Amino acid sequence: MDPAALAALLLLGGIALFLVIGAPVSVAVGLSSLAAMFVILGTEDGVLTSAQQIFRGINSFPLLAIPFFVLAGVIMNNGGIALRLINAAKVMVGRAPGSLAQTNVAANALFGAVSGSGVAAAAAVGPTMAPLQAKERYDRSFAAATNIASAPSGMLIPPSNLMIVYSLVSGTSIAALFVAGYLPGILWAVVCMVIVHLHARTRPELKMTDRLTVGQALKVLLDAVPSLLLIVVVIGGILAGVFTPTEASCIAVLYALALSFLYRAVTVRQLPGILMDATRTTAVVMFLIGVSTIMGFVLSLARIPAMVSEAMFGLTTNPVALLLLIAVVLLVIGCFMDPTPAVLIFTPIFLPIVESFGIHPVHFGLMIVFALSIGTITPPVGPILFVGAKVANLGIEDVIRRLLPFFAALVVVLVVVIFTPGLSLWLPTLLGLV
């Protein structure tokens, strides 16, 4: 057998086999890539080249933004910021039908935007909202489904760690990707609110929250302003050229830490635990990026992207059909793989195909992040699905049925995002970033 074909078989078959037996994704990618490298370059050169590729993959200044944004998110999750954002969301949507569920959606979008993590949003907002919703006779499974479905909106609204990873793989501007995420991310939250509204119309007992006086509402909003200013400081500083995205991540850590100390929600004694939590998450992501660089090298040597492209063009040359086929593949992948490794693995395969049709890499970045974000709420792997069910003290089977309307609506929105490039490119174009 041709060495390139054998390497491709070892790589793809090895990853599939390791995942089936339950091995971590990083181990599956690393060992399979190493085996394929041995076939192409031999044992000695394979080991040396693999080590070089790991170093090259993580030796990146823009990549330093990930550990700092992760740390900022952990600090926020412990720093009393979630409650203030929930109260602000309640002021904004509290008079809508099903107001507590609407508040859950808005709070997830706000907290996800400042923390950059959908899992953190579901874990922080869900436990706060669940008792309030139970008191107002909300169906527990619907309340949990609302929390789960709306949490990934923060993965699109910047700052987003997943977009930093896509930027690393594709060479796309991080600033352009951050700005491009606003409209799709807001649209995600709005669609969830529409589903909640339709549900509330069939449940008249789901009353609105008590009306606040103007003074009370202003007090709540002013209390949340310092937390919301984090987004303005980070994104505004990047767009104004005051600092790079990496420097912005350091500013985010300092700002979140100062705010948490100001709120007296974090003490010096808690800092070692916070740093350890952030270190664990960062280590997993960085190791995955390192071994995925080996995989990318093997993919190139084995001509796998070219073979996939030829196979897809063999099925159809219609750009609409090909984009829909890629979307279906991404949705299926998202059911079985976390978004970060999926972006690292499939961006080099699909990006050349979509670029051949004139699709802008920023637009494709939003397409792939949106599709894989849907995967975070779908079984069997969906991390946000598991976290959201756990904080609600429910089983996965209890919330799946309630998630179906959200899932269907979000798939429709994905199609809209794919075939409406303006949703992704209008703001970056307006600001001269693309």
Question: Running DSSP on this structure, what letter comes out for residue 212?
Answer: P
Q: Give residue-wise pLDDT tens across range 80-112.
A: 777 777 777 777 776 667 778 888 888 888 877
Most confident of 6-15, 181-190, 314-323: 181-190
Q: Give residue-wise pLDDT tens across range 139-154.
A: 889 989 999 999 999 8
Q: Check residue 41 and give its pLDDT.
A: 83
Dist CA 57 CA 43 (whole Å): 21
Is 288:340 a contact under the CB 8 Å cutoff?
Answer: yes
pLDDT-derived band at 208 (thresholds 50, 70, 90) equals: low
Q: Give residue-wise pLDDT tens across range 320-370.
A: 888 888 999 899 888 877 788 888 888 888 998 888 888 899 999 999 999
SS3 content of the chain, % helix, strand, coil (to 5): 80, 0, 20
Q: Check residue 204 and give its pLDDT.
A: 60
Is the confidence at residue 205, as pLDDT, over 70? no
pLDDT-derived band at 373 (thresholds 50, 70, 90) equals: very high
Whole-Å CA distances, 149 to 96, 377, 387: 19, 7, 12
pTM: 0.81
